[in-house]
Amino acid sequence: MKTAIYIVEGTVQIVLTPENDHEKSAVKLIKDPDVEMTTFDGSFYECQGGWYRESRGDASLIIRLDKKEIDPRQPGTTETTTNKETK
């Protein structure tokens, strides 16, 4: 995936350009309104919460995408919960 970061007059723009079908699927998830996006500091090693980090530093930005699910306690509402598995 090609990536670019543009910073102009205080505005930060992150551009992701997928180069294969796998990357296109990932970009599609980011755009999906039914997906919750959260961010974390870190690198890449496996940890609780289902994402991976390489080291214990905080040089990288981790973006986690979780499909929202309708809250079964509130039938007919738009309230959602996020399905997060722990390891």
Count how many domains the chain has.
2
d(CA 86, CA 80): 19
SS3 call for 45 = coil
Confidence of residue 87 (pLDDT cuts 50, 70, 90): very low
**64 shares a domain with 25:** no
* Main-chain phi, psi angles of 14, to 5 degrees: -105, 125
Is the pTM here over 0.75, yes or no? no
pLDDT, tens digit, 9 for 90 and up, residues 33-58: 999 999 888 766 677 777 665 666 67
Same-domain status, 20 and 52? no
User: Is the domain of 84 the same as that of 43?
Assistant: yes
Verify that 20 and 38 share a domain, yes or no. Answer: no
Q: Rounded to whole angstroms, how far apart are CA atoms 54 and 41?
A: 12
**48 and 17, same domain (yes or no):** no
Q: Which domain holds residue 4?
A: 1-31
- Strand order across the beta sheet in which 60-70 lies: 35-42, 60-70, 80-82
For residues 19 and 55, membership in a common domain is answered with: no
Between the alpha carbon of residue 3 and those of residues 16, 51, 67, the distances in Å are 5, 21, 24
83 and 42, same domain (yes or no): yes
pLDDT digits 0-9 by tens, 54-83: 666 677 788 888 988 766 776 654 544 455
